[in-house]
Amino acid sequence: MRSALAGVADPADAIHLQRFFKTGPGEYGEGDVFIGVRVPQTRKIVKHFAELPLSEIDQLLDSEVHEHRLAGLVILNGRMARVSRKRGADVAAQELIVELYLAAVRRGRVNNWDLVDASAEFILGPWLLDRPRGLIYELAQSDSLWGRRVALLTTFAFIKAGDTGTTLDLCERLLTDRRDLIQKAVGWMLREIGKRVDQTILTGFLDAHAAEMGRTALSYSTEHLTPEERAHYRALR
């Protein structure tokens, strides 16, 4: 896998990606290393390594190279989808995948927004859809920005299943978190509730909380509302 990724790596793209993903001192992706492989290339290569053992996926997730970690997560997504689709889902196999993923999250290896967004809803989402969700709240209380974003993005799977309760609860709890990537995630998930489930659920939340929401979260959440509605909620801040 590493050799295959290296074979399509572009040093010029690596420089661009390091800037795009904010890897400079004090930025959210500080110190991350890119070799210059775009996401479509990574996904194409991953198809040839779908059966990579979990122990080797774990090695990818521990790599300092961002594209290695993304490749490992994409493989885990596919593995989780396959074992979840089986009649009488293979719970033991699911649990191994979830444990490996959570270990990577907790040791800070799922540590940029693209890594979170490409994995949380596809790995933790199916696992927690019909289970107690204490884990979500544990992650939401994490000191790690990425742990909190994992919690929010996991609930995208719930939204797609028509279940908005956990998302709304997390958004309320994280309203005062002014980290930009949390603000964007809160607004994004609220917008998806209005788009995919029921717009009145979104507007009900905004009626109650728009005055205390950050500008970014409010902007994202109201994107699909009318200009008049957007102006109304902005005026409440």
| Structure confidence by residue, pLDDT tens digits, 23-54 | 999 999 999 999 999 999 999 999 999 999 99
Rounded to an integer, the average pLDDT of 147-163 is 98
**pLDDT at residue 85, as a whole number:** 84
**pLDDT tier at 86, thresholds 50, 70, 90:** confident
Q: Are 163 and 130 in contact (CB under 8 A)?
A: no
Rounded to an integer, the average pLDDT of 158-173 is 98
Domain ranges of the chain: 1-130, 132-237
Residue-wise pLDDT tens digits, 167-202: 999 999 999 999 999 999 999 999 999 999 999 999
Q: Are 117 and 74 in contact (CB under 8 A)?
A: no
**pLDDT at residue 118, as a whole number:** 97
Mean residue pLDDT across the chain: 97
CA atoms within 13 A on the CB side of 96: 11
Rounded to an integer, the average pLDDT of 137-160 is 98
**pLDDT tier at 84, thresholds 50, 70, 90:** confident
CATH architecture of the domain with residue range 132-237:
Alpha Horseshoe (1.25)
Instruction: Check whether 87 has a pLDDT greater than 70.
Output: no
**pLDDT tier at 138, thresholds 50, 70, 90:** very high
This prediction's pTM: 0.96
Instruction: Check whether 107 has a pLDDT greater than 80.
Output: yes
In percent, how much of the chain has pLDDT > 90? 97
